[in-house]
Amino acid sequence: MNITEITKLAGRNKRSKRVGRGHGGGNGKTCGRGHKGAGSRAGSKGFSLSEGGQMPTFRRLPKRGFSNAKFTTRYSVVNIASLETRFDAGAHVTPQALEATGLIRNLRLPVKILGNGEMTKKLTVDAAKFSETARKKIEAAGGEARVR
């Protein structure tokens, strides 16, 4: 048997571990929690950053600088090759149309059109941003690239 022969459904409904049902079951008496300590008590979640008395990593490392990562604009990216295959000539391509065809998932993110592929159909494309090559290819095919 190969891993490729296992279906998507295999392992989906895993049986829950039955603990406290005697030593024959393998999880009797202490139910796999060991003896004493916070981990054996109810409500224990554990603290993954705890290092047992050693100075934790996040306190050992210096805190300096500033990151712009929080403020970047993230885009839903679509290539013109995808537009070519999913839309008929003369179609009006909007973010709603892109979501309906399954090219983007989230309407809250702005859409950016990239120039990977060839464009032969005349399309009117509405998007937040276009790469330079995408704009040239859309306009060369007789279409229109409109920034929303």
Write out pLDDT tens, residues 76-126: 999 999 999 999 999 999 999 999 999 999 999 999 999 999 999 999 999
pLDDT of residue 102: 94
Residues near 116 by beta carbon (within 8 Å), at least 6 away in sequence: 79, 80, 81
Considering the four listed CATH numbers 3.30.1300.10, 3.40.710.10, 3.10.20.30, 3.100.10.10, the one that applies to the domain covering 71-147 is 3.100.10.10
**CATH 3.100.10.10 residue spans of the chain:** 71-147
Structure-block tokens of residue 67: 């990151």
40-80 pLDDT, tens digit each: 999 888 777 788 889 989 899 998 999 999 999 999 999 99
Assign 1 to helix, strand or coil: coil
Residue 2's pLDDT band (cuts 50, 70, 90): confident
Residues near 95 by beta carbon (within 8 Å), at least 6 away in sequence: 76, 104, 107, 111, 126, 127, 148
